[in-house]
């Protein structure tokens, strides 16, 4: 099966590096025009130059609803339509016991990881997808369905994002499909502190024998955003090398 998104326009948050950048590159290689978004112009400029194809960039903080609005408008101005929204940007400013998280970092985690996808989806729907249809993909985490005490607040926002995915899928059908991916541990900057010190041992413990690469998520993302997934909505695709099997087998 050749998964293509020719003629589609995608907007990807957190697209300057890691998983978001890989998703933007895979969508572009599969035929889409892609608007890449994150907070830093220089990194976006470098990423879009490397990805090539029909790409552009817009600076926006994923946790700011007005900037989400501006990014959606910029996409429509640049490419004339919006068919695919990937809510990928997330933050994890606190590691430690969830019971002791301070309010500023809790608020930031919620506003970027959970309220953010609501705002971006809201603007994508009202400016474009309500009339023309489309696909929304939320990048959650297997942490949204399992318990790790050191990143409990982050994981709770991912659990909420999975629920939001199902809610929006019901609300926006039949025109807009809404799905989520729950990645396991992927070798990016965000997760570096978790994997870098112990990579070989962690890989050996994984059912599929290695940690994830951003491209593992990008291929699944492109499938869910394409017409190959036209009868799939409200679902979460776990892409974790089998990591959750350990949780279920004990
Ligand atoms: N890596 C993993 O093991 C893993 C596992 C499960 C789930 N995930 C999820 O996968 C997604 C991507 O993570 P990643 O590992 O690729 O992270 P990453 O390598 O740290 O990249 C994060 C991207 O998001 C942008 N970003 C961060 N905060 C932002 C904000 N407030 N507004 C707009 N953009 C922001 C960053 O650019 P700027 O800093 O320039 O804004 C960057 O482009 C996240 O939703 C994460 O929760 C990752």
250 has a pLDDT exceeding 60: no
Annotated active-site residue 94? The verdict is no
Strands 236-239 and 84-87: unpaired
* CA–centroid distance, residue 117 to ligand 1 (Å): 13
Q: What letter would DSSP give residue 134? A: E
Q: Which of the four pLDDT bands, split at 50, 70 and 90, describes residue 71?
A: very high
At residue 194, the pLDDT reads: 84
* CA–centroid distance, residue 226 to ligand 1 (Å): 22
pTM of the model: 0.98
The overall average pLDDT reported for the chain is: 96
Q: Which of the four pLDDT bands, split at 50, 70 and 90, describes residue 222?
A: very high
Pocket of ligand 1 (CB under 6 A): 13-20, 38-40, 43, 61-63, 88-91, 112, 139, 141, 183, 185-186, 188-191
C-alpha closest to that of 180 among 128, 145, 129: 145
Bridge partners (DSSP) of residue 178 are: 136
At residue 1, the pLDDT reads: 77
- The three-class DSSP label of residue 136 is strand
For the chain, list the domains and their CATH numbers. Answer: 9-249 (3.40.50.720)
Q: Which of the four pLDDT bands, split at 50, 70 and 90, describes residue 249?
A: low
pLDDT tens-digit readout, 129-145: 999 999 999 999 999 99
């Amino acid at each position: 099966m050749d998964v293509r998104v020719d003629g589609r326009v995608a907007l990807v948050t957190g697209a300057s590096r890691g998983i978001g950048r890989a998703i933007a590159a895979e969508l572009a290689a599969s035929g889409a025009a892609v608007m890449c978004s994150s907070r830093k112009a220089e990194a976006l400029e470098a990423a879009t130059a490397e990805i090539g194809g029909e790409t552009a960039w817009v600076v926006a903080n994923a946790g700011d609803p007005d900037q989400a609005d501006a990014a959606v408008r910029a996409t429509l101005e640049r490419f004339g339509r919006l068919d695919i929204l990937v809510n990928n940007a997330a933050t994890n400013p606190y590691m430690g016991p969830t019971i002791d998280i301070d309010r500023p970092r809790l608020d930031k985690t919620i506003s970027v990881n959970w309220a953010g996808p609501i705002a971006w989806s809201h603007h994508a729907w009202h400016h474009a997808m309500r009339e023309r249809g489309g696909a929304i993909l939320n990048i959650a985490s297997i942490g949204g369905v399992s318990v790790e005490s050191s990143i409990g607040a982050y994981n709770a926002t991912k659990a909420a994002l999975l629920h939001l995915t199902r809610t929006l899928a019901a609300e926006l059908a039949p025109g807009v499909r809404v799905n989520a991916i729950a990645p396991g541990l992927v070798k990016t900057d965000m997760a570096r502190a978790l994997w870098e010190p112990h990579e070989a041992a962690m890989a050996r413990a994984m059912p599929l024998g290695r940690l994830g690469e951003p491209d593992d998520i990008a291929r699944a993302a492109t499938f869910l955003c394409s017409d190959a997934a036209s009868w799939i909505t409200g679902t979460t695709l776990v892409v974790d090398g089998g990591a959750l099997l350990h949780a279920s087998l004990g």
